[in-house]
Amino acid sequence: MNILWNFLRPIISRVIGAWVGGLAIWLSAKYGVVLDENTQLQIIAGAVALLYAIGQTVNAVVHRTLDKKLNPGDAASNHLADVEAKEVHVLKAKEALRG
């Protein structure tokens, strides 16, 4: 996730900056509300932090959901993951025979 975050961080801040700038211009024209540069920077920083938190949450949910099927023991290596997957399959089969 850090590699993706390092790649997206400059892009996200520029995109959000453009939208916040557009919002500032629109508010100024429509309602006479003026957002100075410092306020705009604070909005951008908050939006980037929010997007990062949302991204981390989505990553955690997707990771956990996929691991239930692909790596139920949360093993760090492929050979351990294969062994654990077989063990889970055997345990589920035994449980099905009992119930």
Burial class (CB in 10 A: 0-12, 13-18, 19+), 44: buried
- pLDDT one-digit tens code per residue, 5-47: 777 777 877 888 888 889 888 988 899 888 889 998 999 899 8
Whether residue 83 is predicted with pLDDT greater than 90 in this model: the reply is: no
Kindly indicate the confidence band of residue 73, based on its pLDDT and cuts at 50, 70 and 90.
Answer: confident
Closest CA to 50 of 79, 25, 13, 83: 13
C-beta atoms surrounding 83 within 10 Å: 13
User: Looking only at Cα atoms, what is the longest distance across the chain?
Assistant: 72
Whether residue 48 is predicted with pLDDT greater than 80 in this model: the reply is: yes
Whether residue 59 is predicted with pLDDT greater than 70 in this model: the reply is: yes
CA–CA separation, 27 and 50 (whole Å): 22
Q: Which amino acid is at 11?
A: I
Closest CA to 25 of 15, 40, 13: 40
> What average pLDDT does range 70-86 have in this prediction?
76
Whether residue 70 is predicted with pLDDT greater than 80 in this model: the reply is: no
Its pTM surpasses 0.75? no
Token couple for 96: 């099905």
Q: Which amino acid is at 81?
A: A
